[in-house]
Chain A
C-alpha cells in the first residue's frame, strides 16, 4: 500500500436522468486500478442509470466522468467502448438468433481483428461451457450460460473497466457463485470492475469497496468489509432482520 494505485474512473457531481426526471443527483465516486467496487441500493435508487450514464447510454446533464484521466462525459457509447469501458447490460441483451461465437465476435467489433482469436481463447478459458456451446444460438442457452456469454462478450472488447448491471438477476445460487468466481478471477488478473447488484451481501463479500446509493445520491461509501458490518446497511440492504448467519 505504499504507492497510490492509478485512478481508472472518477466521477464528480454527476447528474443524469430521463427528460426532466433526474434519477442520478450529484454522484461523486472513484474506482482505482485493479479494484472490484460494488454499488448497492434499493430498487429505483438510480444504480442502473448511473452505469448507463457512465457509458453514454443516458446523457448526463451535469458533472464530469473521467476515465484514465480523459474526460469522457457525454461520449457516445460506441466511443466509450473503444476507450475501454465495457458494459454487461441488465437482462444481458444478447443476439438471440446468432451463435455463441458470433455474439463473441460482435463483442470484439471494436478491437483489432488479430486479437479476436486470443480473446476467444481467454473467454473460453474463463467459461469452458461457452466453448462447448460455441455454435449453438444464444437463445438456446440456459440463463446462467447466457449471463456468462454476456460477460464474455463484454470481455471481447478488451476493456480496462468492466461494468456489470445486475449479473445475478434471475439465476440459481450455484450459477451466481460461478459468475462471481469468474469475476474474482478477472480481478486477480488485474481487471478493474464496477458492479451494480441487488444482492448486496453477495456483492460486498466479493468486493474491495462499496457505495450505497439512495434516491440518486451516494448515502454511504467505504470498504466492503466495513459496509457488511455497518448497522444501517445490514438493516436496510442485507436483510439482517431475516436472522443472523443466513447466507445468500
Chain B
C-alpha cells in the first residue's frame, strides 16, 4: 500500500509473471486459447484506466464501454474505409476518446456528488444509439466487418500468436506507465483525495483538475483498447459496447479492490475468462460451458457478492495479505 520503493521480491514476482505471460504463444499452438487470452489482455488495458479512475481517484464511470466503442469504430472506419495506416487509426482513436473524455469530465466534475456517474451513464446510452444509427460509419446494428489486422510498415500482425504479443506488449507498457503514475507526486495526490477531499484541498491539491486528468487517461486507455480490439477480431457491432459492458468493467474494478493495479488486473482476467472457461479448463464438457455462459451474469453477480462479503479489499486485499504472509515466511 503506497510503498514508493519496489523491493526485490516484487521485481522477481513481476519478472516471473511477465515471462510466463509472454511465453504462452511458445508453449501452445491452441489458437482459441490464444484468442481468449488476447481478450484478457485487451480488458487489462481498459481496467488499468478503470483502476486509476475508481481505485485511486474514487470516481465511478458507467460509460467506459462507450469510449471502448468510440475507439473501435474510429480506428475501424479510418483504416478500413479511408485507408489510413493502422498506427494512424489507433492514434486517432486515442485522440478522439481523450477529447471526448475531457468534454464529458469537465462539466460533470466541476459539480460535487455523483454527477460523473450520471453523465457517463447518459453518455453511454447516447453512444449506443449513435453506434446503431450512424450506419454510414458504423454499419448500424449489423456491425462493421472486414477490419484488417494490425500492420506496421507492411509487416502484418496476422497470426494469433503475434496478436497476443501485440496486445500483451501494449498492456504491459500501459501497466508500467500506470504504476509509475501511481508512485509519482500526482499519484500520491490521487490517493489523498480518495482519503479526505477537504484535506486534499487544504494541501492545495487541484482536485477537479486531477480528477479530470485521470478521467481523460482512463477514457484514452479504453479508446486504445477498443482500437486494438477492432483489428484483432476484424468485426465489431454495437452490442459489444453496451451499458452491460460498462457495468462489467465497473464490476472488475470493484472486485479488484482500491489503491491497486494488480487486483483489478486479476479481477479482469477472472471475469473475462468465465464465459470462455473451456479455453483454460481442459476437458470441460460442452454442456457445462453452455451452462456457465447461460448463467454468466449470475456468476458475475455472485462472485462479486462473495468477494465483497468474504474477501475484504477485493482481490487487492487478498494480494496484500498474501504478500504479508510471504514476507513472514520468506
Contact = CB atoms under 8 A, between A and B. Distances in A.
A240 interface: no
A78 B205 contact: yes
A81 B188 contact: no
Contacts of A82: 204
B122 interface: no
Contacts of A80: 204
A158 to B, nearest CB: 11
A110 B2 contact: no
A218 interface: no
Given A93-B198, A95-B192, A98-B192, A81 B203 contact: yes
Interface string A60-96: 0000000000000000111011100011110011111
B325 interface: no
Interface stretch (A36-44, A99-107, A183-191, A231-239): A99-107
Nearest to A137: B1
Nearest to A52: B198
A102 B205 contact: no
Contact of A106 (B205, B207, B259): B205
A81 B203 CA distance: 7
Contact of B191 (A87, A88, A98): A98
A157 interface: yes
A97 B202 CA distance: 17
Classify the secondary structure of B's interface with A.
helix
A107 to B, nearest CB: 5
Contacts of A153: 202-203
Contacts of A99: 2
Interface residues of B, number: 20
A57 B191 contact: no
Contacts of A213: none
Contacts of B196: 93-96
A95 B205 contact: no
Contacts, number: 73
Given A105-B188, A109-B185, A109-B189, A95 B204 contact: no
A81 B204 CA distance: 5
B142 interface: no
B199 interface: yes
A78 B198 CA distance: 11
Interface string B180-215: 000001001101100110111111111100000000
A154 interface: yes
B192 A93 contact: no
A80 B204 CA distance: 7
A110 B1 CA distance: 24
A116 to B, nearest CB: 10
Contact of B201 (A77, A92, A96, A157): A77
B192 A154 contact: no
A86 B202 contact: yes
A88 B199 CA distance: 9
Given A77-B201, A89-B199, A95 B191 contact: yes
Nearest to A94: B199
Nearest to A90: B198
A157 B200 CA distance: 12
A97 B203 contact: no
A136 to B, nearest CB: 13
Nearest to A88: B202
A78 B206 contact: yes
Given A93-B196, A105-B188, A109-B189, A98 B2 contact: yes
B202 A154 contact: yes
A96 B189 contact: no
B191 A89 contact: no
Interface in B227-282: 259
A153 B199 CA distance: 10
Nearest to B3: A99
A92 B202 CA distance: 10
A87 B206 CA distance: 15
Interface in B109-126: none
A109 B204 contact: yes
B198 A106 contact: no
Contacts of A88: 202
Most chain A beta-carbon neighbours within 10 Å: one of B1, B189, B201, B259: B201
A93 B199 contact: yes
B205 A57 contact: no
Given A98-B191, A98-B192, A102-B2, A109 B203 contact: yes
B202 A93 contact: yes
Nearest to A153: B203
Given A93-B202, A153-B202, 5 more contacts: A81-B202, A93-B198, A95-B196, A97-B1, A106-B205
Interface of B: 1-2, 185, 188-189, 191-192, 195-196, 198-207, 259
Interface of A: 55, 57, 76-78, 80-82, 86-89, 92-99, 102, 105-107, 109-110, 113, 153-154, 157
17 contacts: A78-B201, A78-B204, A78-B206, A78-B207, A89-B198, A93-B196, A94-B199, A95-B195, A95-B199, A96-B195, A96-B196, A98-B192, A102-B2, A106-B189, A109-B203, A110-B204, A157-B204
> Which 10 pairs show the lowest CB-CB distances between chains A and B?
A81-B204, A93-B199, A110-B204, A95-B195, A78-B206, A77-B201, A93-B196, A93-B198, A78-B204, A106-B203
